[in-house]
Amino acid sequence: MKVSIDKTKCIMCGSCVAICPEVFEMKDDGSVDVKDQYKGVDIQDPILVEKIKQAQLACPATAIVTEG
Ligand code: SF4
């Protein structure tokens, strides 16, 4: 599964970071993004995939985009 954040939608609430800090991070300026090591990567770890799905469901702005 590949994951990215639509920055035009993200309201920087931090929920995804709280749910899955392995993949999502809040930058010093308060913006939230996928960690560099996971950008464009097809994530296979089933635990991470499940946590990403949970973060996606919890995102109040439907800003988490997944494919695969
Ligand atoms: S949960 Fe959604 S709106 Fe909140 S920081 Fe993450 S991507 Fe942005």
pLDDT tens for each residue of 7-32: 999 999 999 999 999 999 999 999 99
CA 49/CA 47 separation, integer angstroms: 5
Give ligand 1 pocket residues (Cβ under 6 A): 5, 10-16, 32, 59-61, 63-64
HSE, side-chain direction, 13 A CA sphere, residue 5:
26
Q: Are 48 and 20 in contact (CB under 8 A)?
A: yes
Ligand 1 nearest-atom number relative to CA 12: 5
Model-level pTM? Answer: 0.96
Which of 62, 10, 61 has its CA nearest to residue 33? 10
Question: DSSP code of 36?
Answer: G
The reported pLDDT for the residue numbered 7 is 97
CA 7 to chain centre: 11
Q: Which CATH class is domain 2-67?
A: alpha beta
